[in-house]
Structure 1
Amino acid sequence: MRRVLVTGATSTVGGHVVDGLRDREGVAVRAASRDPAAVGAGVERVRFDFTDPATYRAAFADVDAVFLVRPPAISRVRRDLVPALSAAVGAGVERVVFLSVLGAERNPVVPHTRIESWLAEAPLETTFLRASFFLQNLATVHREEIRRGELFVPAGDGETSFVDVRDVAAVGVECLDGGPTGALDLTGPEALDYGTVCRRLSAVLGREVEYANPSLARFLVRRLRTDRDPARVAVMAGIYTTARLGLAGRVTDDVRRVLGRDPLDVETFARDYREVWA
C-alpha cells in the first residue's frame, strides 16, 4: 500500500487531490492540515504545520509521496518551509509533487522558484505542476463583483490560459501514483482575454457580466478599500499586469498528455459553478 501525504488538504487544489486519491486502489491518503477537523471524512487526518517541527514526525511517518502546497503566508522558504522538506527526506519520502506556478523557472521573485530549486537538489523524485491562473478564482476572489454583473481586473486586452483546478488536481493525482516527473506546464485549452471570459460567463448565467477593464491605479484603490491587505492586493496586481503585458497566454498540451482528454473549458467551469454567482 502506497501512502500519500497531502499538505494543504483543505485548500482548493489540495481538497481535490484528496478526493482523487481517496478511492484509488493501492493508495492510502493522509490529509494534512493545521485544522484536521476541517478535512472531510474517509481519509486519515493529521495535524501539520510547516512552522511547527513537533508536527513533522506523525505527518511523514511511513509516507511514500507528498503533495506539496505552499501556504500563501509563507514567503521565507528557507526558514519556514525547508525544515519540513528536510524532515520528509529524513523520514524516507521518495517523491514530491509540488503545486507551482506557470513561469516559475523564469521568475526568481516568487517563492515557488526557491522551492523548486531546493527540491531539484534533494534526493527525491519530483514533479512541478506549474499551473496557469485558476478559473476558480472567478468563483472565490471575484465572486461578489461577478454577482453584481462586473469583473474588475486591470488585465487590459491581454490573454490568459485559464486552467481549472480540477484538472490540476487530477494531474497531481496521476503524478503521485507513479506518473510523470519533471516540470509540467498546466493550462486550459485556449488563451482568452477577460472580455471574452465575461461574454462566456454571461451566456451561461443568462445575465450580463461586464469586463470593467480598469487602470491599475483604479484597481489598487478599489481593492485596497475592500481587502485591506496590501500584500494580497500587490500579488493580484502583479498577476493581472502579467496578463496585461501579454505574458500569460501560453497554452500547452500537458494536461491532455497526462489525463488523455482535453482540459476543462470556461463554459464547463461556469455551468458547474453557476450557483456560486446566483
Structure 2
Amino acid sequence: MTVLVTGASGNVGRPVVDRLVAGGIAVRRADRSPADHAGPGAEAVRFDFTDPATWPAAFAGVETVFLVRPPALGDVRRDLLPAVAAARDAGVGHVVFLSLQGAERIPVVPHATVERWLRGSGMSWTFVRPSFFTQNLSTTHAADIRDRDELVLPAGDGRTAFVDTLDVADVVAAVLAEPRAHRGRAWTVTGPEALTYGEVADALSEVLGRRITYRPTGVLRYVRHARTALGMGAGMAWVTAGIYTTARLGLAAGLTGDVRQVTGRDPRPVLETVRREAGAWRRPETVPREESS
C-alpha cells in the first residue's frame, strides 16, 4: 500500500509522514517544493492542486490519500476538487480528509463542500475533524503574541476545544495505516479541555513570564487586523473570522474521546503544548553594543 500525503511539510503532514515511515508504510510526500522539505524514508514528489501537470506522477500507484486543503484555496470546487477527481480516476480508493470540527453543521466553510463531494465521489473516505489547533497560536498569531503581547480575535467569551497537532497526526496516521477499519467514519479530534481565549492568554503569560492580553473584537475589525498586522489574504482572514465566530457562539467547545478511542491514549493539554512552543513567542534578547575605544 502506498499512501500519498498532501501538505507533507505542514504541522500535521510532517509528523504523519514520520509516523507512517516508522510503521513501515510506503509514503509519498506531496509538496509544491519537495526538495525544500526532504526527509528520510519517504518518496518526494512535486504536487500542486492547481497544476494538473503535477497530478499523474503524484497519484500513480497510490491507494490512499491524506487530503489537506491549503488555506489559500478558498474556492475548493475550482482549485482543489478537480485534483481529487483525478486521484479517483487514477485508481485512488480511499481519502482521509483533514476537515474541521463541526464542518457538518457549518455549510459555508470550504471543508463542508469537500466532505459533501467525497460522500458522493464513489471513493471510500474518513473525515478527521480536528478542533482549533493550539499551534495556530505559534504560527498564525505568533506576531501578535510575540511583538504586541496580545491576542486580537472575534471569539468573545466562547470556549474552544484546542488540540495539539501531534494528537491530530497520531489519529491520522492510525487511520492511514488501517483505512478499511475507518471507512465512512468521522473522527472529531479534540484536546482534553475547552478554554476561553482569556484563559489561553493566562497560560501564555505563565509560560512567557509577561502579561499577554486577550482583546475580543468584532469580525470586521478582526479582518482588518488580520490583513494588516498578521499578513493574511482576504480569503483566509474571512475563513478564520468564521471559525472564531463559531467559538463566540459556543459551537467550538465540544470535547470528544476520539483521540483515546483511536490511539489508546489521552490528548495533550494546552499548557503542555504552550510550553513546548514557547520559542515562537520569545523576543530576541537585546545584545548591547560594544563601545568603541
SS at match of 1:29: strand
CA shift at 1:17, angstroms? 1.3
CA shift at 1:102, angstroms? 1.0
C-alpha distance in 2, partners of 1:223/1:75? 16
SS at match of 2:18: helix
Alignment correspondent of 2:197? 194
CA shift at 1:91, angstroms? 2.2
Alignment correspondent of 2:32? 34
Structure 1 stretches lacking a partner, 5+ long: none
Alignment correspondent of 2:4? 5
Q: Which has the larger radius of gyration?
A: 2
Which residue among 254, 259, 262 is the counterpart of 2:266? 262
C-alpha distance in 2, partners of 1:270/1:237? 23
C-alpha distance in 2, partners of 1:268/1:14? 21
The C-alpha deviation readout for 1:92-125, integer Å capped at 9, x for no partner, is: 2222110001111112211211211121123322
Shifted more, 132-141 versus 194-203: the winner is: 194-203
Alignment correspondent of 1:231? 235
User: Structure 1 residues 216 and 85, CA, compared in 2 at 3 Å: closer, same or farther?
Assistant: closer
CA shift at 1:156, angstroms? 1.4
Alignment correspondent of 2:290? none
Alignment correspondent of 1:71? 70
C-alpha distance in 2, partners of 1:105/1:167? 21
Alignment correspondent of 1:180? 182
User: Structure 1 residues 154 and 86, CA, compared in 2 at 3 Å: closer, same or farther?
Assistant: closer
C-alpha distance in 1, partners of 2:125/2:220? 40
- Contact residue 31 and residue 44 of structure 1 kept, 8 A: yes
User: Structure 1 residues 206 and 258, CA, compared in 2 at 3 Å: closer, same or farther?
Assistant: same
The C-alpha deviation readout for 1:174-197, integer Å capped at 9, x for no partner, is: 000105231111111111101111
Alignment correspondent of 1:169? 169
- Contact residue 191 and residue 249 of structure 1 kept, 8 A: yes
The C-alpha deviation readout for 1:3-50, integer Å capped at 9, x for no partner, is: 11001112222122112212212x111000111112232121001112
Alignment correspondent of 1:157? 157
C-alpha distance in 2, partners of 1:73/1:220? 15
Which residue among 243, 249, 254 is the counterpart of 1:250? 254
C-alpha distance in 1, partners of 2:232/2:120? 38
Alignment correspondent of 2:101? 102
The C-alpha deviation readout for 1:128-147, integer Å capped at 9, x for no partner, is: 01111111110011112212
SS at match of 1:12: coil
User: Structure 1 residues 218 and 49, CA, compared in 2 at 3 Å: closer, same or farther?
Assistant: closer
CA shift at 1:250, angstroms? 0.8
Alignment correspondent of 2:90? 91
Shifted more, 198-207 versus 188-197: the winner is: 198-207
The C-alpha deviation readout for 1:205-258, integer Å capped at 9, x for no partner, is: 222212122344543443333236332222222222221111111111111111
- Contact residue 31 and residue 39 of structure 1 kept, 8 A: no
CA shift at 1:71, angstroms? 1.8
SS at match of 2:45: strand
- Contact residue 49 and residue 80 of structure 2 kept, 8 A: yes
C-alpha distance in 2, partners of 1:49/1:271? 34
Asked if 1:240 corresponds to 2:236, the answer is: no
- Which residue type is aligned with residue 245 of structure 1? L
C-alpha distance in 2, partners of 1:228/1:58? 32
Question: What number of residue pairs does the alignment pair up?
Answer: 276
The C-alpha deviation readout for 1:47-74, integer Å capped at 9, x for no partner, is: 1112222212111111121100112232
Give the RMSD, CA atoms, in angstroms: 1.7
- Contact residue 62 and residue 92 of structure 1 kept, 8 A: yes
SS at match of 1:72: coil
- Structure 1 residue runs of 4+, over 6 Å off? none
